[in-house]
Chains A and B, each alone.
Chain A
Amino acid sequence: NAGVTQTPKFQVLKTGQSMTLQCAQDMNHEYMSWYRQDPGMGLRLIHYSVGAGITDQGEVPNGYNVSRSTTEDFPLRLLSAAPSQTSVYFCASSKLDRDGGELFFGEGSRLTVL
């Protein structure tokens, strides 16, 4: 069982370049989300989705776009990368539960923007 799979694991970009971080889960989870993690800080929510075709913003959405065309996939797009977006990005998924529930995380994608 693969769980939550993120690609790539490492990426270096130049300022202004665009890229997509991929996230796929095979647990049939309706809820998916993206977090970024910076040194000395906890994870901060970027965007989330409660099902195919539905996305919404988290705490730090600026500079990122998402879409959810299928239940399995939730890509995160950086349209014009900035050095402030250097971070480790985590995708997570869970069953859809209004009261919360276990959130399963991927292994992370480390992005460096020069």
Chain B
Amino acid sequence: GESVGLHLPTLSVQEGDNSIINCAYSNSASDYFIWYKQESGKGPQFIIDIRSNMDKRQGQRVTVLLNKTVKHLSLQIAATQPGDSAVYFCAENTGGYNKLIFGAGTRLAVHP
């Protein structure tokens, strides 16, 4: 919603540039990680996921990198577009099924 996202870190990029959003996760036993995109007034929308036996996964214009050594996850968006403006959350699955623990989020602002 409109009030969600206040006080979040913001990444500002120019349209056409590549964006990199970073996330540190907490549990070394987590085995599944997801990136979600949330537009204002809407629910989170799945972007891409990665399992702990991988260190990189690519989708359409998006790539997720996983570094288990330092418990770090990143989302790369190629050729960022105005429609990519949103809050992005990483989430980790700590205990089976989909008991996801979400990060605080990063706001991506794309400028023309």
Contacts and interface: CB of A to CB of B under 8 A. Distances in A.
Interface of A: 4, 31, 33, 35, 37-45, 48, 50, 58-59, 88, 90, 92, 94, 96-108, 110
B6 A39 contact: yes
Contacts of B8: 40
Given A39-B7, A99-B32, A110-B1, A105 B98 contact: no
A58 B99 contact: yes
Interface of B: 1, 3-8, 31-32, 34, 41-46, 49, 51, 89, 91, 93, 96-105
The secondary structure that dominates the B interface is loop
10 contacts: A40-B6, A50-B97, A92-B43, A94-B98, A99-B31, A99-B96, A100-B34, A104-B46, A107-B42, A108-B43
A101 B41 CA distance: 24
Interface centre among A41, A42, A102, A104 (most CB of B within 10 A): A42
Contact of B97 (A100, A105, A110): A100
A101 B104 contact: no
A58 B94 CA distance: 12
